[in-house]
Structure 1
Amino acid sequence: MTRQPRRYQPTRPLPYPPVPPGAIPGQRRPAEYRPVPRNGYGITALILAVAGLVFGVVPFTGPLALLCGGLAVLFGLLGLGRARRGIASNGTMSIVASVLGGLAALLGAWGVVLTLQAVSQFGRDLDAQPRTTLPGRPGQIPGNGRFVVGTDIQPGTYRTRGPAELLCRWDAGDDFGTIITNEGNRGTTVTIDPTDGVFETTGCQPWTRIN
């Protein structure tokens, strides 16, 4: 039994899609234009907020935290405004960045307050130097101590017989010196002027006013 050859049957061409009115046949429909979201403000705000939180942890970098936090709030509000106008897609990021920026600003303000208090306390500690109590005998200065001229002691010329132990040192304004030995109890004299401010002495025998 012989097999009959298959007859060729032409296929019908598929119908073309309908052409819109006014379009040229064979021309593709242009793709719809979608603008790129402008998310720069929101991203900038988030970066500044994170940086502000890092600076806010350390009190001495409080000014930087305050600056970064304030800028983060500003850029976050600008980014939120863009999102509401439909030209940005990161409205949630802008809100989060604004909240974090406000927290960073609070930490920065706290750090600034602590820094100012520390500087003020350091200045008070420098001014509050210990003073030696003066003896009851007038016109005499102990051999060890720091004395304010005009308050603790009066200006004038004072004399010491030398060191109480090994070294006798003094400082009165621009006049300062050191005695290693008393060299036969000759000692030394020093003139304390009203403008000297402070007279300091260490390791000396008492100073007695002679003029």
Structure 2
Amino acid sequence: MGSVGWYPYPVQPRNGAAVAALVLGILSVLAACSVLFFFIGVVLGALALILGLMGRARAKKGRATNGPMALTAVLLGVGGLLLSAAIGVLAVGTLMDEFDAVPLTGAQGTVSRPLGDNGTATYRGGLHVTVSAPKEFTPAAGVRGRTLGERAYRISVTVRNEGDRDIDTTRYHVLAEGGDEAQLDQIWSDTDRVGQGLPATVGPGRSATADFAFSVPQEEQVLDLELAPGWHYDSAYWYFDLRRPGT
């Protein structure tokens, strides 16, 4: 009687790691190309690299048959990581530039040395902001922001761009205070054309003027103005004595 032979079942190749790594590597590169999702590219790239190396190790031991696919996944994972890191550094640098406020070029216009009537604050990059002396006026009926019995003063703000690129003035900031640092209410009136604000941008060689008005108590003698022409510009300051004739 012949001997009985033993035939082992064939071992299935363990190719799953390389396949998953390849998919993650592709997604990592795609995510890295977006400023919004570069951080996802870092995570996916790291996972692709780990699984790709795992797939390579299995292929070398004969436990997997897709070694080239694993190698491709490793390269994609590394590429996704590097690209995500580069995009991240660029995005953070750009964000820091946006938060780095454009400064005044001189001491005039600061809190300790405010400007006066028709004083001009100059910013790096060629931006000039001039504020006229406040003038008392009688607003039209139905204005918003004026307190009954208080005086109304208006000022003109002129923004002049002598630089070589557009100035973004969409998020300007205007604040007026009295001598006791109490904030003065701003007046809005379409009829009087006050409070309508600055335009969105001021191009090179151009200027724009906007009028603002404030409600001032009868006993108030000074008006302190804080103004930033855009959200990424330092504030400049003006001091006005309302006791002077003509104001």
For this structure pair, what is the TM-score category when the shorter chain's length is used for normalisation?
0.5 to 0.7
Question: Partner letter of residue 109 of structure 1?
Answer: A
- Mapping of 1:6-21 within 5 angstroms? 21=2
In the alignment, is the contact (CA less than 8 A) between 1:162 and 1:182 conserved in 2?
no
Distance of aligned partners of 1:182 and 1:110 in 2 relative to their CA distance in 1, 3 Å threshold: closer
Match of 1:175 in 2: 183
Q: Give, in angstroms, the shift of residue 32 of structure 1.
A: 4.4
Gaps of 5+ in 2: 123-132, 140-152, 156-173, 188-212, 230-237
Question: Partner letter of residue 66 of structure 1?
Answer: V
Match of 2:117 in 1: 142
Match of 1:100 in 2: 76
Q: Give, in angstroms, the shift of residue 171 of structure 1.
A: 2.2
Gaps of 5+ in 1: 1-18, 24-28, 148-158, 193-197
Instruction: State how many pairs are aligned.
Output: 160
Residues in 2 aligned to 1:182 and 1:123: alpha-carbon distance in whole angstroms: 32
2:160 is the alignment partner of 1:128: no
- Mapping of 1:111-126 within 5 angstroms? 111-124=87-100
SS at match of 2:13: coil
- Mapping of 1:185-204 within 5 angstroms? 188-190=220-222, 199-200=226-227
In the alignment, is the contact (CA less than 8 A) between 2:223 and 2:242 conserved in 1?
no
Q: Give, in angstroms, the shift of residue 189 of structure 1.
A: 3.3
Match of 1:110 in 2: 86
Residues in 1 aligned to 2:68 and 2:78: alpha-carbon distance in whole angstroms: 16
Residues in 2 aligned to 1:101 and 1:201: alpha-carbon distance in whole angstroms: 46
TM-score relative to the length of structure 1: 0.58
Match of 2:18 in 1: 42
Match of 2:142 in 1: none
Question: Partner letter of residue 226 of structure 2?
Answer: F
SS at match of 2:241: strand
Distance of aligned partners of 1:99 and 1:64 in 2 relative to their CA distance in 1, 3 Å threshold: same
> C-alpha deviations, 1:54-89, integer Å up to 9, x for none?
011123322111221121111111111111111111
Match of 1:207 in 2: 240
> C-alpha deviations, 1:21-47, integer Å up to 9, x for none?
134xxxxx7764101111111111101
Residues in 2 aligned to 1:181 and 1:50: alpha-carbon distance in whole angstroms: 59
Question: Partner letter of residue 22 of structure 1?
Answer: S
SS at match of 1:207: strand
In the alignment, is the contact (CA less than 8 A) between 1:73 and 1:101 conserved in 2?
yes
Residues in 1 aligned to 2:30 and 2:154: alpha-carbon distance in whole angstroms: 53
Superposed CA RMSD in Å reads: 4.2
Match of 2:3 in 1: 22
Question: Partner letter of residue 221 of structure 2?
Answer: T
Whose helix fraction is larger, Structure 1's or Structure 2's?
A: 1
Identity of aligned residues (%): 19
